[in-house]
A and B are shown apart, each in its own frame.
Chain A
Amino acid sequence: MSVAELRALERLHAVIAWLATAGLLWAAWASVRRRLPAGGAAAAAALVVLAGLLGAALEEGFRARVRHKLFLAAPALGWLFERKVHVAFGAVLLGVAAWALTAALRRIEPRADEADVARELRRGAAIAWTAAAVLALLASVASAIVARRAGF
């Protein structure tokens, strides 16, 4: 991939990642208030998965062109980016888990005989959305800090 392509992909990744963070924060809030529509949950999960895929596509370019220079220039920022990668992985997968729990809850909720299962799934979904949102926010802030100093 050329440098121009990597820069374009980096910008797209940043935009999608911030949109995903906003989506997850909204989903967490709506889930706690029990007002999360199925479409909204799917959109938030799709955005965070897309952001993760774009980040994975940038990984080789980052390793080849940026990582070493970043560690030489500012080791603290290098380690911050390493932390960001771990946290982002957690955000993507917990976003997927939150969507799956919300989708299962939507189907189980109307059945009175499974009210206790629905209650537990609702709790799990709210925790998963909140955890994914917090992790995504941490990852986005860390990325923004590193991006001010280093890029393709």
Chain B
Amino acid sequence: MKRREQWLVAVAAGATAAVIAYAVVRGVERAFFTEPNPMILIWSQRSPFVWRAATALYVGGAAAFGGHALAARAPRAAARCLTAATLIAAAAILAMAVLSP
């Protein structure tokens, strides 16, 4: 795998990891940090979605470097891991949206 291809795999790894991180962060929020009832809450200064998305993108950014390293050393394993990670990401975000919105 050439350098540019490694970076493309890194982008895919980062994006996929960000989706998984988003689902995990939301799950942790629901389990440990109860939000105020949205029917009572008129307005909040901090947007929970923006913070959740920022955290997920930060994790995704870190995972991109891991994806790049794996693509450089073991391209076959990187491609296989990405296929599995994509399936996990789609299932995690769907399960989270259905079970704990």
CA distance A128 to B15 in the complex (A): 11
Interface majority SS on A: helix, strand, loop or mixed?
A: helix
Whether the pair A59, B50 counts as a contact (CB closer than 8 A) is: yes
> Which residues of chain A have C-beta atoms less than 8 A from B28's C-beta?
none
Give, as a whole number of angstroms, the nearest-CB distance from A142 to chain B: 9
Q: Pick the residue among A67, A89, A98, A124 that contacts B79 (CB under 8 A).
A: A124
Q: Pick the residue among A93, A114, A116, A131 that contacts B60 (CB under 8 A).
A: A93
Q: How many residues of A contact B (CB 8 A)?
A: 42
Whether the pair B101, A127 counts as a contact (CB closer than 8 A) is: no
Q: Which residue of A lies closest to B50 (CB)?
A: A59
Q: Which residue of B lies closest to A60 (CB)?
A: B47
Q: For residues 78 through 111 of chain A, which have their beta carbon under 8 Å from a beta carbon of chain B?
A: 78-79, 82-83, 85-87, 89-90, 93-94, 96-98, 100-101, 103-104, 107-108
Contact status of A89 and B19, CB under 8 A, knowing A63-B44, A100-B11 = yes
Comparing A6-14, A19-27, A68-76, the segment that makes contact with chain B is A68-76
Give, as a whole number of angstroms, the nearest-CB distance from A92 to chain B: 9
Whether the pair B93, A101 counts as a contact (CB closer than 8 A) is: no
> Which residues of chain B have C-beta atoms less than 8 A from A78's C-beta?
38-39
**Residue among B2, B15, B60 with the highest chain A CB neighbour number at 10 A:** B15
Q: Pick the residue among A63, A103, A114, A127 that contacts B1 (CB under 8 A).
A: A114
CA distance A96 to B61 in the complex (A): 13
> Which residues of chain B have C-beta atoms less than 8 A from A86's C-beta?
22-23, 26, 93, 96-97, 101
Give, as a whole number of angstroms, the nearest-CB distance from A74 to chain B: 11
CA distance A69 to B96 in the complex (A): 24
Interface majority SS on B: helix, strand, loop or mixed?
A: helix
Q: Which residue of B lies closest to A119 (CB)?
A: B79
Whether the pair B101, A79 counts as a contact (CB closer than 8 A) is: yes
Q: For residues 28 through 66 of chain B, which have their beta carbon under 8 Å from a beta carbon of chain A?
A: 38-39, 41-44, 47, 49-50, 53, 56, 60
Whether the pair B94, A87 counts as a contact (CB closer than 8 A) is: yes
> Which residues of chain B have C-beta atoms less than 8 A from A117's C-beta?
1, 75-76, 79
Whether the pair B97, A68 counts as a contact (CB closer than 8 A) is: no
Knowing that A97-B82, A100-B11 are A-B contacts, what are 13 other residue pairs whose CB atoms are under 8 Å apart, sorted by A's residue number? A67-B38, A89-B56, A90-B19, A90-B93, A93-B89, A97-B86, A100-B15, A101-B8, A101-B12, A104-B1, A107-B4, A107-B8, A124-B83
